[in-house]
Each structure stands twice: as structure tokens, then as C-alpha cells.
Amino acid sequence: MPGVLALVGGAEWTEGCTFDRDLLAASGASEVLVLPTAAAYERPERAVETASAWFASLGAKARGLMVLRRPDAEDPANVEAVRASSFIYLGGGSPLHLRSVLKDSSLWSALESAWQGGAVLAASSAGAMALGDPMVDPRGGAYTLGLGLVEQLAVIPHFDAWSADKAHRTMELAPAGVAVVGIEERTALIRTAAGAWETAGAGRVDVFRDGKRAGLEALPGGAV
């Protein structure tokens, strides 16, 4: 049975991300494996430092796995680290770079296997965008292919910073039947191990389908 999945709207590892304590408890782990892949060109080590300080305040450790280029996603040691982890966290940055590094890689297969086997998986901002399919293209608000862990779901992170016009255009471009989710910063849309969706954190989550507001019941069941 898949583990808990948390899609975070950004500003991860900061005050207001109250759900991280619950994610730790759900994982049963004392260490979080942090992949700063999406931030490969934005000082990824700083992301790991931020995660380490945040999880230390929660009584846990964060270990960075520097999967920054495609060859890193085929490295056997990295693949095994992901496969063995009980709590994996994908940070923010570029969803397009994250997708290019992970798609159809050995590490992506290991990540899917870990989650399907019960590991907790959290992904913020670019990470949350890339896990769905289709994926909102950050270059213009249209849609492109995502990694497809959850199908028929598109994520808009940092939704509290989007203008009404930009949000409206993005909703209009969404394929029919696809649930589009706007997640504010320091907020998570969580799929429980039982398959139910819920929200947590400092902000709100807005769900749209076919251009209209919808409730959490409009969200897909995810990959099971």
C-alpha cells in the first residue's frame, strides 16, 4: 500500500509547516532524505542546510542526496539510498530540470517503489508540480508532461502569489477532467495512506476541475 504523499505549495521547511511533524510520525523515521534536484542551479546545498535546521527543530535529521544531473539518477548508491528511505522529500526549484533528471531513471523507479511500499513522500513547489501529470509549464502556464506519480492532477504552488488573471488563464487551458490544485505556501495537500485527501498547514488549497471550483472529492485516487 502506498505511503503518505504530501504536496506542498512552497516555502518548505519554515514556520507554519506544521504537517512535517505528522509526516515524520507517519514515516516512523528519524531521518529525512532530501533531494535538492530541482535547485541544482540555485545552490542546492543551501536547501539541504535549511532542511537540516528545520528537521533538527522537530527532533529529526535531514540528509541531502545530491542528485543534480541525470548521471546522478543512475548512480547505484543514490538509487539504493532512495529505495531504503522511509521519508523522502523533494525540494523546490525548476520543475523542468527535476523532470529531466528523474524521468524514466533508475532513481525514479526506486522512489516509486519506496512510496508504493509505504514510505512517506513529500514534494514542495517544483517537486509538487512534477509529481503530477499533466504538469503546469512554468514558462507560460500551459501544460506539459509530468512524472505522473498521480495522474489527472496538476499542481500550482505558491498559489497565494498568483494573480487572478494568470490563474484564470491556467484553468482555461487545463485538459478536460483534470483536477487543478492551487496550494498556498507553507500548506500541504496530503493523500493519506488510506487514500483520502486532506489539507494542513498555514494556508489553503483550492481545487478546480473543468474551470469550476470543486472539493477534495474531485481529486484522483493517485497511483495505487
What are the structural domains of the chain? 5-218 (3.40.50.880)
Q: CA-CA-CA-CA torsion for 37, 41, 44, 45, nearest 10 degrees?
A: 140
The set of residues, in sequence order, having a beta carbon less than 8 Å from that of 201 and lying 6+ positions away, is 8, 9, 16, 17, 18, 19, 184, 186, 187, 188
pLDDT for res 135: 96
Identify the H or E element spanning 96: helix 95-102
pLDDT for res 171: 87
More confident residue, 197 or 169: 197
Q: Name the nearest CA neighbour of 29 among 76, 79, 80, 89.
A: 89
Residue 224 has pLDDT above 70, yes or no: no
Q: If you search the block for the grid coordinates 543534480, which residue do you land on?
A: 68
Q: In angstroms, rounded to a whole number, what is the distance separating the alpha carbons of residues 15 and 219?
A: 27
More confident residue, 49 or 140: 49
More confident residue, 141 or 150: 150
pLDDT for res 167: 85
pLDDT for res 102: 98
Q: Which of 13-27, 35-49, 98-112, 139-153 is least confident?
A: 139-153
* Chain segment 119-144, per-residue pLDDT in tens: 999 999 999 999 999 999 988 778 99
pLDDT band at 211 (very low <50, low <70, confident <90, very high): confident
Average of per-residue pLDDT across 88-101: 98
Average of per-residue pLDDT across 10-21: 97
pLDDT for res 223: 40
pLDDT band at 222 (very low <50, low <70, confident <90, very high): very low
Average pLDDT across the chain, whole number: 95
Average of per-residue pLDDT across 54-59: 98
Average of per-residue pLDDT across 73-95: 98
Task: Kindly provide the b/e burial profile for residues 132-158, where b requires at least 16 CB atoms within 10 angstroms of the residue's own CB.
Answer: bbbbbbeeebebbebbbbbebbbbbbb
State percent of the chain over pLDDT 90: 89
Q: Any idea what the Cα angle at residue 70 is, between residues 78 and 55, rounded to 5°?
A: 45
The answer to whether the CB of 198 falls within 8 A of the CB of 190 is yes
Residue 25 has pLDDT above 70, yes or no: yes
pTM for this one?
0.96
Residue 180 has pLDDT above 70, yes or no: yes
